[in-house]
A and B are shown apart, each in its own frame.
Chain A
């Protein structure tokens, strides 16, 4: 008994080693992926950002010249502007859609599972070529949208995708349409709100708007914070949709040239990998600032139960 207890409390060194090895073997695949596909690329990209690197030959160290060149690059500023505009509208729209749909689906019914799956679907197919083709068909000069408008007597012959004023909005609409993952998280959050809160509000005669503002929103605020953060980060790194819909060149007039698309062009189309890496680090900085700001502001609007006590 005694010796057994001691053995459990202090394992022999050999056995400890074997235990550790087994542990490392189990996380090995993850470790490999982490080093090969995250950590090493992160460090090399930091180094490349200080070099002139054309992919075809070895990188040449040039100090902070890439960062200095960015300040004078009008296309860089343009792409930054496009991205901010996109984030400012796409993220709130997506969250609002997600919340509305989540509330609609927060009922007990057999069909709800089916509806959830159906509405989650756009998020899965969102980045695919098929959706880009669909979007082009919808918003072309002779596309479905114009045909529907014509039925109501509105005669437009513009290509919504090719027009400089509307092109970015087709991307924002696509983003709003892909609210699925946020919706599921909202739905999980809604299910956590105790039914009794609403029951007592009903007894006090509160209307549905009142219940939404005073119960749903505060109770859901931490989930809103999570979704806002994730979607803001997603928004700043948007690439696939812009790439497929604009044919990869940010048409028209660079009005859909989002930051990540320009970064890609610089790195892989113009063979300026050093500049592309520098742009990536600026994006890291921008996202960090926004994440910090959102976290900072959260103390004034996110409601945590534990604080109340």
Chain B
């Protein structure tokens, strides 16, 4: 009796040990967070499932939100020391997160080829470096572009613009299209009005933020900003531009005036072209931003659209790195992702995609080639602390001027003063 009981006991003990060993050996849980849109979410989930099928020992939990809520959530998670293992990072936040010691230096992993970036030029990876260390690998290359509704141009009997078109051409075009078809122009990049003005500054060989320490703006003369306002006011006066109360209120591509055929252009990042065009269901053109009068250099730049970073607090750094490598290099995975995050930086991935993408994505590939081929200037350093608040002031003053409550000159002075007040705290 006693021996029987003890053998049962031994069997149970053995089973427990085996089970324990199994679970200790395998079963890694990784948390992956990104901001996105429905298209990106679906494709990323598919890649995650593919990865889990190939690596049954890994479970990946995903967290996704829109852009706005993402940084709020990530900030709270950082405060609670509960960041996911892999986070999607942005050029404007990566410095802040890296300097607070929250991100893992991926340099050694790249050197050991655990993340295989062989043959990728420095220009594609340097955006992820802070103080010489690599804190994020770029998931794609991006550039700001103008998306035009081909049908509206045709109806107005206009030719597609040349890459060298100017702001004067643009205004003429806007007025002509409005006169012939009643289709309007939105206010300049209404979701983030700074992006287009930044392009103008760069054409003038200036930067938005002071490059040295970000303790002030990079420009102090009001001339260009006043012209930015006045150009829009002229088109508002001729009714070629959508009034600001309507223009600023737009939310999703589904409901946008571009989709409804009430506007003929939108300034977007090249990786937003697909989701912007999707509800339109008609052909679009993408082209460079117009040049300002006496433009000194191209204002457009190639930007790492977003990064994957591994967090320093992760308990499974090796496994996290493995997944990042898969995401960057696996052809099957990238056939699912279809360059939605931007044009991939790994050559063989880019080549395999180029052969299979649809006409719209082909246009985007060609556009990035066009930008890379003498139509760009180097990217500015990442935004300093306080940038978010400065952009909010830019938007507020922009609205004040376009609603006619502040004169352009007064608005420009007001913005420069308020922005410098915010940035002054960066002085060391």
Contacts and interface: CB of A to CB of B under 8 A. Distances in A.
A143 to B, nearest CB: 10
A234 to B, nearest CB: 23
A189 interface: no
**Chain B interface, DSSP helix/strand/loop, else mixed:** helix
A85 B249 CA distance: 22
Contact of A254 (B75, B246, B388, B396): B396
Given A56-B97, A56-B100, A164-B405, A252 B245 contact: yes
A268 B399 contact: no
B389 A270 contact: yes
B75 A56 contact: yes
Nearest to B262: A142
B246 A159 contact: yes
Interface in B249-291: 249, 251
B396 A162 contact: no
Interface stretch (A94-102, A108-116, A243-251): A243-251
B31 interface: no
A263 B23 CA distance: 45
B248 A162 contact: yes
Given A56-B97, A253-B405, A268-B76, A161 B249 contact: yes
A160 B421 CA distance: 33
Contacts of A158: 243, 245-246
Contact of B68 (A74, A248, A253, A271): A248
Contacts of B392: 249, 265
A55 B75 contact: yes
B400 interface: yes
B78 interface: yes
B251 A163 contact: no
Given A249-B392, A252-B403, A162 B244 contact: yes
Contacts of A253: 396, 399-400, 403, 405
A74 B386 CA distance: 16
Contacts of B68: 247-248, 269
Contact of A252 (B75, B248, B251, B388): B248
B interface residue count range (under 10 / 10 to 19 / 20 to 34 / 35 or more): 20 to 34
A56 B400 contact: no
Given A270-B388, A270-B389, A164 B249 contact: no
Contacts of A211: none
Contacts of B76: 55, 268
Given A57-B100, A249-B392, A253-B399, A268 B249 contact: no
Contacts of B386: 270
A249 B97 contact: no
Contact of A74 (B79, B251, B388, B418): B418
Interface string A233-248: 0000000000000011
Interface in B61-81: 68, 71-72, 75-76, 78-79
A251 B96 contact: no
A271 B403 contact: no
Interface string A274-293: 00000000000000000000
Interface string A48-77: 000000111100000000000000001000
A54 to B, nearest CB: 8
Interface residues of A, number: 28
Contacts of A268: 71-72, 75-76
Contact of A56 (B102, B388, B395, B399): B102
A249 B395 CA distance: 10
B298 to A, nearest CB: 31
A157 B68 CA distance: 29
A27 to B, nearest CB: 28
B249 A140 contact: yes
Given A252-B399, A253-B403, A253-B405, A162 B79 contact: no
B73 to A, nearest CB: 8
B297 to A, nearest CB: 32
Given A268-B72, A270-B388, A56 B244 contact: no
Interface in B285-306: none
Contacts of A164: 245, 399, 403, 405
Contacts of B100: 54, 56-57
A169 to B, nearest CB: 13
Given A55-B79, A268-B72, A270-B389, A159 B249 contact: yes
A141 B71 CA distance: 31
Question: For A136, A253, A254, which residue has the most chain B Cβ atoms within 10 angstroms?
Answer: A253
Contacts of B395: 249
Nearest to A245: B249
A67 to B, nearest CB: 16
Q: Which of B68, B96, B244 has the most CB atoms of chain A within a 10 A radius of its CB?
A: B244
Nearest to A167: B245
B382 to A, nearest CB: 15
A290 B110 CA distance: 61
Contacts of B396: 253-254
A186 B76 CA distance: 41
Given A55-B76, A56-B97, A141 B399 contact: no
B16 to A, nearest CB: 33
Contacts of B78: 55-56
Contacts of A265: 392
B249 A162 contact: yes
A49 B243 CA distance: 41
Interface string B43-74: 00000000000000000000000001001100
B72 A269 contact: yes
A162 B72 contact: no
A163 B399 CA distance: 10
Contact of A269 (B71, B101, B399, B403): B71
25 contacts: A54-B96, A55-B78, A56-B78, A56-B79, A56-B96, A56-B97, A136-B251, A141-B246, A141-B249, A158-B246, A159-B249, A162-B248, A162-B249, A164-B399, A251-B248, A251-B249, A252-B244, A252-B399, A253-B400, A254-B396, A265-B392, A268-B72, A270-B386, A271-B75, A273-B79
Given A157-B243, A164-B403, A265-B392, 16 more contacts: A54-B96, A55-B78, A57-B100, A140-B249, A158-B243, A164-B245, A164-B399, A251-B248, A251-B249, A251-B399, A252-B244, A253-B396, A253-B403, A268-B76, A269-B388, A270-B389
5 shortest A-B CB distances, which residue pairs?
A: A162-B245, A162-B249, A56-B100, A268-B72, A55-B79
